[in-house]
């Protein structure tokens, strides 16, 4: 896990749902999106479905800081998502943390 910093952080999280879990997990994903967007430190929070693989989804999040993202992970809506993923996701999540850099436009 990257060090806590004051710079904004973007999170990309990719996962595949188990076919039998779609109807149970997607409402939890939708609730997490709605509640996460209300967090004052959130700049972007969305989830997209792969057009070639309907069981593949990608979260795209942007937070004011890594500390803000870490605080998000303690919220009830995130914990509910984590619980739903514990049985609904096929395989591990692929999570990437991206930091802003002054070296790119």
Split at pLDDT 50, 70, 90, the class of 43 is very high
Percent residues over pLDDT 90 in the chain? 87
pTM: 0.88
- In the chain, domain spans: 9-99
pLDDT value at residue 99: 85
pLDDT in tens, 1-41: 444 446 899 999 999 999 999 999 999 999 999 999 999 99
| Among 100, 95, 73, 101, residue whose Cα is nearest residue 12 | 95
Task: Return the pLDDT at 3.
Answer: 47
Amino acid 7: pLDDT: 85
Architecture of domain 9-99: 2-Layer Sandwich (3.30)
Count of other CB atoms within 10 angstroms of residue 23: 10
């Amino acid at each position: 896990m990257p060090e806590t910093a004051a710079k904004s952080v973007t999170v990309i999280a990719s996962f595949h749902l188990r076919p039998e879990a779609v109807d149970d997990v997607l409402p939890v994903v939708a609730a997490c999106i709605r509640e996460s967007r209300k967090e004052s430190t959130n700049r972007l929070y969305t989830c997209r479905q792969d057009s070639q693989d309907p069981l593949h989804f990608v979260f795209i999040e942007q937070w004011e800081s890594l500390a803000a993202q870490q605080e998000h992970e303690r919220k009830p809506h995130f914990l509910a998502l984590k619980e739903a993923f514990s049985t609904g996701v096929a395989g591990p999540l692929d999570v990437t943390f991206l930091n802003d850099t002054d070296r790119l436009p």
